[in-house]
Amino acid sequence: MQDAVPTPSRRPRLAVEYDIAMSEHQPPQEADSETTPAALLTDHDPRSVLDRLPNNVFPMRLRLHLPRGRETDTPHEQYREPDYPVSLREPQTPYIPKSTVYFDNPAKRPPEGTTVWQPGEFHDRLADLLDHVAETTHLSPDDLTLIELEAVEVPTHFVTTDAETGEHVVTPDLYEKEGEMRIARFQKEGSLTATDVRDDLEDALPGEARTPTRLTRVEEVHAKPSRHGQSTTASAGRAQFYTETDAEQVDSLDLTPAVYQLRRSSDSGDRTRPLAPVLSNLESLLPSICKRAPDLVERVRFVGEERQQTHFHANEVLDS
């Protein structure tokens, strides 16, 4: 991970259709043109994204995939047209399915039984895998795509370097002093459709086409002291920060997490705050991601219209 990245030249402004597809069974109800802000990841290679994270920003988990190339699929020798109505095709190249990778991090332990990676180790082993792909297939490692990234930002005075591994780690003071942490989630999610501005999006964010990877959630949390230490190998799956329930148990509302989330990603009735209004001052929420890696996140405003479709919920079947 690096401390800073050079600032690029200004990218073009974007316009996009803002689309919510709730069902395919009713025609969409269109609204007037509107704008919506977004914070987009400008890099979609998981290797370089991790390399560009500041030293005090720790990856928690990411999802990625390497789609298989269909152009080299071959028809089955026996089950093929015209002897059969359709041809059975067999893939000839390997691929990486949509996969989730968990990292050792100061905020949350991964699910029990999950392999935990250090960023450097992840980078080296993934490079070995992609070298094999490049040498044995027509696929390009550049096709590897980041689908989702969750990372935690920690104040720099709580970060040090492990003398044995060389990895950046947090100090015990983070937990003893109940230090603040900011958890950011970037993901490709279906409420934003950019099909109508593919060319503009490609110019601004090379490698993107229809669904940009954007910031969907930020959590302001406080580290939680633990009698059993902070090792990620113990009590897997447990948060290392105060949840709402934890704050109530210690009778301290100041420790209650503040969660900012896209309105269309929030469940009805949850206690999240809208994310869009704070994107104009994102430096106050994610100062290191915005200032120490200024090329990693691009803030834009999309122009388009919101479309909503409805479901018909059947509760009885009648004879015709």
Residue 141 lies in a domain: yes
Residue 54 lies in a domain: yes
User: What's the pLDDT tens digit per position in 226-242?
Assistant: 754 444 433 334 799 99
Question: Over the stretch 122-170, which tens digit does the pLDDT of each residue have?
Answer: 999 999 999 988 888 777 888 888 999 999 999 999 999 999 988 899 9
63 part of a folded domain: yes
Residue 68, classified by CB atoms within 10 Å of its CB into exposed (0-12), middle (13-18) or buried (19+), is middle
pLDDT at 316 over 60: yes
pLDDT value for 30: 46
In a domain, 155, yes or no: yes
316 lies in some domain: no
Separation between Cα atoms, residue 28 and residue 306, nearest integer Å: 9
Provide the pLDDT confidence category of residue 187 given band limits of 50, 70 and 90: very high
Tally of domains in the chain: 1
Q: What span, in angstroms and rounded, lies between the C-alpha atoms of 139 and 12?
A: 30
Tell whether 74 is covered by a domain.
no
The reply to whether 255 falls in a domain is yes
Q: What is the pLDDT of residue 115?
A: 93
In this predicted structure, the answer to whether residue 207 has a pLDDT above a threshold of 80 is no
Query: Rounded distance, CA 223 to CA 178, Å?
Result: 5
Residue 151 and residue 183 in contact, taking contact as beta carbons nearer than 8 Å? yes
Tokens 């015209």 sit on residue:
82
**Any domain includes 7:** no
Residue 79 near residue 126, CB atoms below 8 Å: no
pLDDT surpasses 70 at 17: no
What is the residue range of 280's domain?
Answer: 29-67+95-308
pTM of the model: 0.77
Whole-angstrom Cα distance, residue 205 to residue 44? 9
Lowest mean pLDDT among 88-92, 165-169, 195-199, 260-264: 195-199
Give the DSSP per-residue string, 35-82: EEEEEEES---HHHHHHHS-TTEEEEEEEEEEPPPSTT-EE-SSS-TT
